[in-house]
A = this chain, B = another copy of it.
C-alpha cells in the first residue's frame, strides 16, 4: 500500500454481522501495516421514533417500556463499539477513535465523513438490520451517492 500519509478511515458499525465483516475486511485489505492509519468507528443510534414506530399506534408504550428501550439502545451502542474496538486490536496495529451519534444513520454518516474530512468511508451493505432498514432505507446506497469521498461497500459473502 503506497499511502504516504496518515489516513483517516471512517467505518460505520452497527450490531449486524455485515458491518463486522466490513470492518475486518477493511482492516485486512485497506489499513496500512505501518500503523499510521486511524480508524474512526462510528455508531449511530437510530432515533427513538424508529422504535416507537414499531408500535404502530404511538400509544401502547408505557414510560417504563420507553425507559427500557433507552437503556437497551445505550447498551447496544456500548457493546457494538467495544466489539469493534476489540476487532481492531486483534487484527491490526491501528489507531482507533470512536464516536456515537444520535439520528438517522444516513445523515450522520455523511455529516461525519465531511466534518472529519476522512480519506475513505467503509460500510457494510446491509447495515441496521431488516426491521430498521424498512424504516430508514438503505444506508449504503444513500452514503455512496451523497458522500463526496471514496466509499467502500463491503458485502458479506453468503456461506
Residues of A within 8 A of B (CB): 1-3, 7, 25, 27-33, 91-92, 119-120, 125, 140-141, 144-145, 147-155, 157-158
* Neighbour of A28 across the interface among B2, B28, B31, B157, CB < 8 A: B2
Task: List the B side residues contacting A25 at CB < 8 Å.
Answer: 150
Docked pose: A125 CA to B149 CA in angstroms: 10
Please give the distance in Å from A97's CB to the nearest CB on chain B: 19
Docked pose: A148 CA to B25 CA in angstroms: 14
* Neighbour of A151 across the interface among B3, B29, B149, B153, CB < 8 A: B153
Task: List the B side residues contacting A154 at CB < 8 Å.
Answer: 150
Residue of B nearest to A151 (CB): B153
Docked pose: A150 CA to B121 CA in angstroms: 13
Please give the distance in Å from A2's CB to the nearest CB on chain B: 5
Residue of B nearest to A138 (CB): B145
B150 touches A155 (CB 8 A): yes
